[in-house]
Amino acid sequence: MDRRSFVAGSAASAAALLTRPAAAQEAYPSRPITVINPFPPGGAADVVMRPLVAVLEPLLKQPVVVDTKAGAAGAIGAQVGANAKPDGYTLLAHITSISGFAEVDKLFGRTPKFTRDNFIPIARFVADPCVLIVNDQQPYKTLKEFTDDAKKRPDEIIYSSSGLYSALHIPMALYMKAAGDLKLRHLPTNGGGPALTALLGNNSQALASSVSACLAQIKAGKVRPLALFGAQRSKALPDVPTMKELGYDIEYYLWVGLFAPKGTPDAIVTTLRGALDKAAHTDQFKTAMTNLGQDLDYMDQPAFQKFWDADAKRIEEAVNQIGKVQG
């Protein structure tokens, strides 16, 4: 246990003892649990959480309800999660982008409404690496050809993303920095679907997409994968080299994890971890993830905490690298 969660945990236990002595004896969970989904229904967090709660309910012997609080690219749901009562009855499902909100706020001189410190990570379920794709009208067959051409024609090749500082903007920023401050032109859209549509219509030429979102288009030959942002090659795309193999020390995943508000008692977190571990490893949940085109990539709290810290560092750097856009 690191110092942060130790302090947070003990402070919370003390608070719980002082304010609600009766509740401390109450076995957790004794009433329904709410999981906040900060994205629209059918979105990245929703499709993981729905099958998860289905297997979690019989284990916890309490209903687990997914409550959608969408808006502001996931910031509203995260804020609700951060301010929820830390009693283990309100949890937050979130994705990679949870790490960037506070950094963007700082960039604009706004006081962040929440930071990473407001959350206790509990578990990570899937981590879908991004893949750099170009449309079939582009000549590039390898990342090298793409990089070389981009160097020759700075600021001319257009890449689309799901929005400024969004989950699909960050990986391109990482790549551009690693390739020696490459200059590409950014076309923000308002979601992963529109970003892919822009690429297919050749309104943009490149996109960093999650593998599951563009696999069907790759198989149909409409887009060509150049490099994978994962540490290892993807099972679905065994021929696509990783960025690391190509000499760029970058990694980027769209992961989905579960968080509790800061101050949630340790005992409750332990109960949840046990139940989640079991739930995530059921065949039913594994099949559900395979259907989504992602394999279960489970991480329990200690591993997830370590992964999250490293991941957040990359994202914070990328946000600052993008900086404020002059418009």
Partner 1 sequence: MESTLVSLLHGFSVAFEPINLWYAFIGCLIGTLVGVLPGIGPLSGISILLPITFGLNATQAVIMLAGIYYGSQYGGSTTSILMRIPGEASSVMTCVDGYAMAQRGRAGSALCIAAVGSFIAGTFGIVMLTVVAPPLATLALKFGPPEYTALLTLGLIFLAYMSSSSLIRTLLMACTGLMLGMIGIDNMTGHFRYSFDLVELGDGIGIVPVAVGLFGLGEILSTPSKNVTGKVMAPKLRELLPTTQEWREAAMPIARGSVLGFIIGIIPGSAHIISSFLSYALEKKLSKHPEQFGHGAVAGVAGPESANNSASTGAFVPMLALGIPTGPITAVLIGALMVHGVSAGPQLVTEHPDVFWGFVASMYVGNLMLLLLNLPLVGMFVSVLRIPYAYLYPLIIMFCIIGVYEVSHSIVDVWIMLIMGVFGYGLRKFGFDPAPLVLGLVIAPLFEQSLRQSLIMSNGDYLIFFSRPIALGLMLVCIALLAMSALSFFLKRNDWRTKLAVAEAGET
- List residues binding partner 1 (CB under 8 A): 40-43, 46-47, 50-51, 54, 66-72, 75-76, 79, 104, 108, 113, 155, 158, 163-165, 185-194, 196-198, 200-203, 212, 215-217, 219-220, 222, 288, 290-293, 324-327
| Cβ closest to partner 1, residue 182 vs residue 236 | 236
What pairing do the DSSP bridges indicate for beta strands 158-161 and 299-300?
A: unpaired
What is residue 172's three-state secondary structure?
helix
Minimum CB separation of residue 63 from partner 1 in Å reads 12
Question: Cβ closer to partner 1: 10 or 202?
Answer: 202
Residue 262 in tokens: 């800061």
Question: Which among 292, 284, 304, 264 is positioned nearest to 57, based on CA atoms?
Answer: 284
Q: What is the DSSP letter of 161?
A: E
Give me the least distance between CB of 54 and partner 1, in Å please: 8
> Element (H or E) spanning 174, and its range?
helix 169-178
> CB neighbours of 288 closer than 8 A, spacing ≥ 6?
51
Least Å distance, CB 1 to partner 1, is 32
Measured from the CB of residue 164, what is the shortest distance to partner 1 in angstroms?
Answer: 5
**From the CB of 113, what's the least distance to partner 1, in Å?**
7
Which two structure tokens, joined as six digits, stand for 213? Answer: 């979102």
Amino acid identity of residue 183, one-letter, is K
DSSP-derived pairing of the beta strands 185-188 and 158-161:
parallel
**CA 209 to chain CA centroid, nearest Å:** 13
